[in-house]
């Protein structure tokens, strides 16, 4: 079964997924790549990185590197020295967590699945209770992952057709 097509169908139909479908979505996202296409970094953010790192960062970075820098050095949600591989492994742990909550939704027209699970990140200077992971079914990739205090710090009106699946 094409899991990305299933996610789109769930959003468009507004139906609840079966347990089997949810298991397949979890298995699919728990091995999906984190988006790695290059993205620009705003001068404001680059300035903040200079302040905390003491050196300049590139004007463009692969998306996963952008997220890792922000999580480690600005938000301090992951410990210094975390690699992209470790960061993504922590996101996979959240997706597979037995207590994970799962939502399907549209975000600015993009078909998404969001996972919110108790954080298992170790030695983070400023940890939060949960890890949130967002997967984009159009790109077949995880597009963000961060620690959050709960669903209210993640979801808003701009998350259309929001449906809690688990």
For tokens 């960062």, name the residue.
57
Please report whether residue 15 would count as binding other proteins according to CB under 8 A. no
- Using CA atoms, how far apart are residues 64 and 60, in angstroms rounded to an integer? 11
CB of 50: closest distance to other proteins in angstroms?
A: 14
**Residues near 126 by beta carbon (within 8 Å), at least 6 away in sequence:** 75, 76, 77
User: Which tokens belong to 53?
Assistant: 């790192």
Please report whether residue 81 would count as binding other proteins according to CB under 8 A. no
Collapsing DSSP to helix, strand or coil, 14 comes out as coil
Residue 136 backbone phi and psi in degrees, to 5: -100, 115
Among residues 9 and 128, whose Cβ is nearest to other proteins? Answer: 128
Please report whether residue 162 would count as binding other proteins according to CB under 8 A. yes
Determine how β-strand 110-118 pairs with β-strand 101-107. Answer: antiparallel
Q: Interacting stretch for other proteins, rule CB under 8 A, among 5-13, 20-28, 87-95, 134-142?
A: 134-142
Please report whether residue 164 would count as binding other proteins according to CB under 8 A. yes
CB of 41: closest distance to other proteins in angstroms?
A: 9
What are the residues binding other proteins (CB under 8 A)? 35, 37, 39-40, 42-45, 48, 63, 66-67, 70, 74-75, 107-108, 110, 126, 128-129, 134, 136, 139, 143-144, 146, 149-159, 162-164
């Amino acid at each position: 079964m094409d899991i990305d097509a299933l996610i789109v169908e769930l959003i468009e139909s507004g139906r609840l997924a079966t347990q089997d479908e949810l298991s397949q979505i979890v298995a699919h996202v728990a091995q999906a790549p984190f988006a790695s296409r290059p993205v620009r970094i705003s001068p404001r953010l680059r300035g903040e990185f200079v302040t905390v790192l003491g050196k300049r960062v590139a004007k463009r970075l692969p998306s996963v590197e952008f997220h890792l820098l922000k999580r480690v050095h600005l938000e301090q949600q992951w410990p210094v020295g975390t690699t992209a591989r470790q960061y993504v492994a922590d996101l996979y742990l959240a997706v597979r967590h037995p207590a994970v909550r799962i939502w399907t939704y549209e975000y600015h027209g993009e078909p998404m699945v969001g996972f919110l699970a108790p954080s298992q990140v170790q030695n983070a200077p400023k940890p939060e209770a949960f890890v949130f992971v967002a997967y984009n079914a159009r790109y077949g990739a995880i597009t963000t992952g961060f620690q959050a205090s709960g669903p209210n710090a993640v979801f808003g009106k701009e998350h259309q057709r929001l449906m809690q699946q688990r």
